[in-house]
A and B are shown apart, each in its own frame.
Chain A
Amino acid sequence: MTPKDEQELAECVKDSSGTGRKLRIRGGGTRLALGNAVSYDDTISMDGFSGVSLYEPGALTLVAGAGTPLSEITETLRKSGQQLPFEPMDHRTLLNSVGEPTIGGVVACNISGPRRIQAGGCRDSLIGVRFVNGQGEAIKNGGRVMKNVTGYDLVKLMAGSFGSLGILTEVAFKVLPIPEVQSTITLHRADINTAVNAMSAALGSPFDVTGAAYLPAIKGADSKTVLRIEGFAKSVKYRADKLAEKVSGFGEVSIVRNDHDIWADIKNVKRLSGNSDAIWRVSVKPSDAPAFCAKLTQSCASAEMQLDWGGGLIWVRVPNDFDLRQSLNVAGHATIIRGDGFAAFHPQPSVLAKIEQRLRDKFDPVGVLNPGIMG
């Protein structure tokens, strides 16, 4: 089904909630593998909800239909020198999927990238949503202004709810200027402990680091710890030099200007995309990363990794039948991004699982929206 507007969509959902026919929601189809497998009768395509409906560069705001291709939004913003602050990753590399990612998919999965540590995630830039709930009612929350505490913040609740609370039809964002230049400071050949310490030192400095990742050594390449500085030219030069000086205490350092490729590869986790093994996404506090990675290597010698967010986000590739959660020896959570050997999301403490289930029951009483996707 391809409803062309909110009213048609509402009718579709109302019908489904009456008959109990289960719906899978589809944006661009590039992230359908995320979450648990959905059992469904019909697919709702969001193609009819495409287009930027409002863009005010002077107010840093953009509103678009959920089915709008991400590329269209990026291009619209780029013409005015602006961008989505949270640098959403493109899952096509990892998932080997085809199609055009949509902004609704980005929001539904709360997709962010390396700049998450400085500019916040998708949920932080999202300022308004419209959605159709499981009973076919059109609901709005938030709006188009960046400060809004009027009533409950369901905007954040909808971000990352994987379509299980409602079908997003329209999303509004706070956007930011595209930095004039960027600089990448690389610390060469650090081990993981040194890398995490160096990243903590960088992120705890006044130099406004917008990316901090660790690429462990692989066959034929030494490890790299990379730090990103962005902004106006003179300012970036000053801060990059200062940061390089600070980090040089941890090993050999070099500076490269405008190396956008390395950050695109980190964002899209290109280095782990190679074979068909499982990909996990592990969230921990940065200083716990070395202990977890050591334990993981001990349990699974073939595990390969990439650290982002100063060590707080660990991407791991392991064989499909390896249960990574058994090795999670620190506080945090692990999500399967590729592979279906285990539940996609980390099991929640029972009290939270109960709250989440009750929320889903309220928003979608019959259970027609992407049933089972979050567990």
Chain B
Amino acid sequence: MEMPIPSEMVLSRKSDIVARLRTVLPDDAVISEPSQTQAYECDALTAYRCAPMAVVLPRNTQQVSEVLRICSGLNVPVVPRGSGTSLAGGALPTADCVVLGVARMNGVLETNYDDRYIRVQSGRTNLSVTGAVEQNDFFYAPDPSSQLACAIAGNVAMNSGGAHCLKYGVTTNNLLGVTMVMMDGEIVEIGGSHLDASGLDLLGVICGSEGQLGVVTEATLRILHKPEGARPVLIGFDSNEVAGACVSDIIKAGVLPVAIEFMDRPCIEAVEDFAKAGYPDAEAVLIIEVEGSEAEITEQLEKITAIATRHNPVELRESKSSEESAAIWAGRKAAFGAMGRIADYMCLDGTIPVSELPLVLRRIGELSKQYGLKVANVFHAGDGNMHPLILFDANKPGDLELCEFMGADILKLCVEVGGCLTGEHGVGVEKRDLMMTQYNIADIETQLHVKDVFDPAWLLNAAKVFPLSTTKSRRAS
């Protein structure tokens, strides 16, 4: 994968730049020793690594502003970083950049139950946002799988989703406002603690802009009261098509579960070996979760099981206790770990119209044979967000490249059937060069205009999201 050639001019001034950064930050917040910067050389897309020139770990918005003012004055590229859990290489450094990590900014600034929001510093982890309000039975809804580790900063940057977004929406639907520092150091407040800010919806475009428009230092998030209860049902089918049809029929019947998760046979088998969740011997398994009071759960599950029964499931297992619920979820939650145990894998997250599910799964099966690489599918079926895991051997020369080619073919397929390259992970560097399969040059140019407005010098995370050829002249200037 191509990355821009590091600027010799920046690299040659490293000691000066680091010295300037130390004037606004405590010593322990500026890292420049190569042995230490190495810890920041990659995120969760571990196939690509590059140690940055320096790392800064500010504690507040003011410090972020001072850092950006210095970097912008000296023309130094900056790569913002949350917890480094991006699967798309969103936090991959360049050799001439300063990584701006928000990990030390993890405080809760305000909690307001009457108006149902919490204001946090952006380095706070997703799960610990819920942790701050759960004593009052509230929670923060978006729940990416990495929620134990991932930071709100990254969630905002990638507009992260999760298993429960069929009902609760993704980050952008739960974000009320941000404090953001522009690349020139200016601090801006966008949105607030009320709904629908005045003027253009800048908050809407900042969320999901992959850290290219500014560094979000604080966020105001909507919080909700927890449902009275939740219960999953596990349904096994003897074909992917039938499982897909069942999902569609449930939705058409007016039932809106909080989660509909889908696993295919390769995934079920790997999960069984690993987590011993007691999943049935089936081609496809759905885990469907509903929420509410006992009576409401029963009412919804009755409707769901009636529909599922019409599709002749090989197994239909309604949870009868919290232990059984945990067992049903255990397999799904262990899916990535189970895959990691048997092979290296690449996780895609293209989204497709739900109606195209059977076709896409069949074509993925064909591609798997053609490339000789196994694929396991586990995904959010209610919203069509696929997660094909392509298994490969990182130690086998050429296998990673083969896997990447196959991944590109699957993503092109997603676009071809009316879907998109990425549903919740972001483009980063991973899907950057596939953008032209979904958008034409005028579409891309329009997006670049937005970056031109926020970061005219193209210093913030500039080598991401868009094909390098489309941004070259801007980065060079």
Contact = CB atoms under 8 A, between A and B. Distances in A.
A67 B195 CA distance: 27
Nearest to A120: B173
A356 B419 contact: no
Contacts of A287: 112, 114-115
Interface residues of B, number: 92
A123 B196 CA distance: 9
Given A178-B254, A206-B225, A285-B193, A145 B198 contact: no
Interface in A172-223: 176-178, 180, 197, 200, 203-206, 208
B208 A206 contact: no
Nearest to A203: B116
Interface string B147-166: 00000000000110100010
A353 B453 CA distance: 12
Contacts of B423: 145, 147-149
B169 A124 contact: yes
A355 B206 CA distance: 12
Interface string A140-156: 11011111111111111
A327 interface: no
Grouping DSSP codes into helix (H, G, I), strand (E, B) and loop, the A interface class, with mixed when no group exceeds half, is mixed
Interface residues of A, number: 85
Contacts of B315: none
B202 A177 contact: no
B449 A363 contact: yes
A96 B226 CA distance: 42
B439 interface: yes
Contacts of A80: 252
A356 B200 CA distance: 7
A355 B453 contact: yes
Interface in A328-375: 331-333, 335, 345-346, 348-349, 351-353, 355-356, 358-359, 362-363, 374
Contact of B161 (A120, A141, A147): A147
Interface stretch (A18-26, A71-79, A231-239, A253-261): A231-239
Interface of B: 112-117, 137-138, 158-159, 161, 165, 169-170, 172-173, 186, 188-190, 192-205, 207-209, 225-228, 247-249, 251-252, 254-256, 292-293, 295-296, 299-300, 303, 351-355, 380, 383-385, 418-427, 431, 435, 438-439, 442-444, 446-447, 449-454, 465-466
18 contacts: A56-B353, A59-B248, A59-B353, A59-B354, A81-B254, A133-B446, A144-B418, A145-B418, A147-B384, A150-B420, A151-B435, A152-B208, A152-B450, A153-B159, A153-B205, A235-B299, A283-B195, A352-B188
Interface of A: 56-61, 80-81, 110, 112, 116-117, 120-121, 123-124, 133, 137-141, 143-157, 159-161, 165, 176-178, 180, 197, 200, 203-206, 208, 231-232, 234-235, 238-239, 242, 283-287, 309, 312-313, 331-333, 335, 345-346, 348-349, 351-353, 355-356, 358-359, 362-363, 374
